[in-house]
Amino acid sequence: MSAGFLKNGNKAHLYVNTIWKRHSISNSIGAPIIRHHFQQPKASYSRFPQRKAKIEFPVPFPTTNNTEAATRLSSISKGGLIGWYLGMVKTHPILTKSVTSALIYTAADLSSQTMTRSSSESYDFVRTFRMAGYGMIVLGPALHYWFNFVSRILPTRDLIATFKKMFLGQAIFGPVMTVVFFSVNAGLQGENGAEIVGRLKRDLIPTMINGVMYWPVCDFITFRFIPVHLQPLVSNSFAYIWTVYMTYMASLEKAATNH
């Protein structure tokens, strides 16, 4: 009996071992559901670590497409200094151009004094204020009306029209404004009529010659490539260097007069 029991026990033991081996093999090949449930995260995370980061730590910020980015950049540029200035030119053209001329004449006169004065001399702020007033009251409005007038009689920006505008500027606007500049500045300094005429005789022709050598290139760029509402700004920018020279000429001593 005991021998039969042992024999049957050995058979049972072999049967259990067979089932256990099959179970282990099936786990290594197919993996039961329970074993697969606990082992898959570890295997997938070890093989794809970046996928784990994306699942557990998603980016909280929304992405924008190219159209939205361009719209934002456009709104920023429109809200900047250039956009503000262009808006002021459209809504308050004469005032904006006058203030621009005054600022440029102020900077030009200070630059001129810096280059010509000695280290012991102080700045002549009355002279600077005089130049700023000329830019504000005289030159700014004059530039506005002049460029609008030229654009009406010559509305195109082709090469022939550009040369015509340049000729008008050198033949009419330049000489007239140079005479006005010297006369107003001399009058504000207390010079009488004879002294103003003597200054014009002495300084007008040399100034006109130098202007012919400087302004045609500036006028060509301004009339050829710049919209009419921005032409005073560009002309004033070119005028900075010219105004340094003009303020120097205006600061010269009185011309000798014959009594």
Q: Does residue 243 fall inside a structural domain?
A: yes
Q: How big is the chain, counted in residues?
A: 259
Residue 2 reports pLDDT greater than 90? no
**0.75 exceeded by pTM:** no
Q: Residue 185 sits in which domain range?
A: 93-250
Q: Does residue 22 fall inside a structural domain?
A: no
d(CA 138, CA 186): 15
Contact present, 250 and 157 (Cβ < 8 Å):
no
* pLDDT tens-digit series, residues 23-39: 554 454 445 555 444 44
- Give which of 143, 113, 109 is closest to 129, Cα–Cα: 109
Q: Which segments of the chain does DSSP mark as H helices, in order? A: 2-29, 33-47, 49-56, 66-78, 81-91, 93-116, 125-134, 140-153, 159-168, 174-188, 193-225, 231-250
Q: Does residue 64 fall inside a structural domain?
A: no
Count the domains in the chain.
1
Q: Does residue 13 fall inside a structural domain?
A: no
Q: Does residue 142 fall inside a structural domain?
A: yes
Encoded amino acid at 27, one letter: N
Residue 25 is predicted with a pLDDT of 46
Residue 176 is predicted with a pLDDT of 96
Instruction: Sort 245 into a burial class: Cβ within 10 Å, 0-12 / 13-18 / 19+.
Output: middle
Q: Does residue 168 fall inside a structural domain?
A: yes
Q: Does residue 259 fall inside a structural domain?
A: no
